[in-house]
Amino acid sequence: MCRHLGWLGRPRTLAELVLEPPSSLLVQSWAPRRQRYGTVNADGWGVGFFTPGRPGPARWRSARPLWGDASFASVAPVVSSGCVLAAVRSASAGMPVEESATAPFTDGRWLLSHNGRVDRAVLPPVRGGESTVDSALLAALVFARGLDALGDTVCEVAAADPAARLNLLAADGTRLLATTWGDTLSALVTADGIALASEPWDDDPRWTDVPDRHLVEATPDGLTTTPLT
């Protein structure tokens, strides 16, 4: 994925999070402000979210550009969640463009998005990849290792492929986890909740930039950022 966002806090509609801000993911799908690799994110989009009383996330993904999806635009204002992960995709060279290659990926409990690329040949073989895209194989590895080992997994993969870019974002309904490794990530902490996003969706001065090669955890208690070494 080339631009992603996570929200943990008071329930918000998918439209409030993904469509309505002045530099929303929708706008980022054709005019990202901080993207270092690729220019538009037109190879698909996905939203996953958690709702009370339902174990595991619900997902809605598509291989088409977000800007052309009138059905999502119609439904998004009436779907609310307190834990959301969304992404728009710019497929890396040689990667399939199909719904199953589009984030968020899931193991039934966690949602995960990858902004970056990795040489698939260096990834240890694991079962359960949703697609042959590098991000899906990386997601399967992260799920297999467990999200508590996310930082270690990123460092291990980066050691095996020094050219890898590994900005990951994950959510399980109670917390968000993210890594920065080669691309941008910003955080917004408000009285309503915490947002993590590849780039700010508006010009609120409270957005802060997460330094490269860091692990970020957002819980209802706040945000922690630790270096990845």
Instruction: Write out the catalytic residue numbers.
Output: 2
Query: C-beta of 136: minimal distance to ligand GLN in Å?
Result: 8
Nearest distance, CB of residue 43 and ligand GLN, angstroms: 7
CB of 10 to ligand GLN, least distance (A): 29
- The CA distance from 200 to 131, in Å, is 29
- With binding defined as CB under 6 A, does residue 217 bind ligand GLN? no
Q: Cβ contacts of residue 144 below 8 Å, gap of 6+?
A: 126, 127, 128
11 versus 38: smaller Cβ distance to ligand GLN:
38
Please choose, out of 9-17, 62-70, 86-94, 208-216, the segment that lies near ligand GLN by the rule CB under 6 A.
86-94
For ligand GLN, the closer of residues 115 and 179 by Cβ is 115
Q: Does 2 bind ligand GLN (CB under 6 A)?
A: yes
* Cα 115 to Cα 96: distance, rounded to the nearest angstrom: 15
How far apart are the C-alpha atoms of 86 and 122, rounded to whole Å? 27
Omega of the bond leading into 32 within 30 degrees of 0 (cis): no
Which of helix, strand or coil describes residue 137? helix
Q: In the set 24, 29, 81, 90, which binds ligand GLN (CB under 6 A)?
A: 90
Binding mask 114-143 for ligand GLN (x = CB under 6 A): xxxx---------------xxx--------
Is the Cβ of residue 106 or residue 135 nearer to ligand GLN in the bound state? 135
Which residues does 101 contact at the CB level (< 8 Å), separation at least 6? Answer: 44, 63, 89, 91, 95, 130, 131, 132, 133, 135, 136
Give the residue with the Cβ less far from ligand GLN, 24 or 198: 198
**Helix intervals (H) in the chain:** 14, 25-28, 70-75, 134-145, 150-160
38 binds ligand GLN (CB under 6 A): yes
Residues in contact with ligand GLN by CB under 6 A are: 1-2, 38, 89-92, 95, 114-117, 133-135
